[in-house]
């Protein structure tokens, strides 16, 4: 029963991550995204995985941890993509402003 409850907890915490990745992908900006928060969640999942190995309690719930890590990884990819898009937009604005000043 404890395994089932742990899996339910992981699913409840993990389901928002694919939705968040999609929302941030569509937004196309990293503004408002906290890399510190994503890092904290990532560390938490890795701590949970490590706890499974340290305790020797390797069971099917470990698969749910790995699914959540994949979802968090997608958020990291979207975050860095959006940072790159933000930087590109910022450099385009600087070039545009410099062009206006010169003209």
pLDDT digits (tens, 9 = 90+) for 45-86: 999 999 999 999 999 999 999 999 999 999 999 999 999 999
Average per-residue pLDDT in the chain?
A: 92
Whether residue 96 has pLDDT greater than 80? no
Band of residue 92 on the pLDDT scale cut at 50, 70, 90: confident
Tell me the whole-structure pTM to 2 decimals: 0.84
Phi and psi dihedrals of 59, rounded to 5?
Answer: -140, -170
**Residue located via tokens 């995204």:** 33
């Amino acid at each position: 029963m404890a395994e089932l409850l742990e899996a339910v907890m992981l699913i409840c915490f993990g389901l928002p991550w694919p939705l968040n990745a999609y929302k941030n992908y569509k937004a196309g900006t990293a503004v408002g995204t906290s890399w510190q928060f994503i890092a904290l969640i990532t560390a938490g999942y890795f701590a949970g995985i490590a706890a499974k190995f340290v305790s020797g309690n390797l069971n099917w719930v470990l698969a749910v941890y790995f699914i959540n890590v994949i979802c968090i990884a997608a958020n990291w990819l979207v975050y860095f993509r959006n940072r790159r898009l933000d930087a590109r937009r910022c450099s385009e604005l600087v070039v545009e402003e410099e062009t206006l000043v010169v003209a």
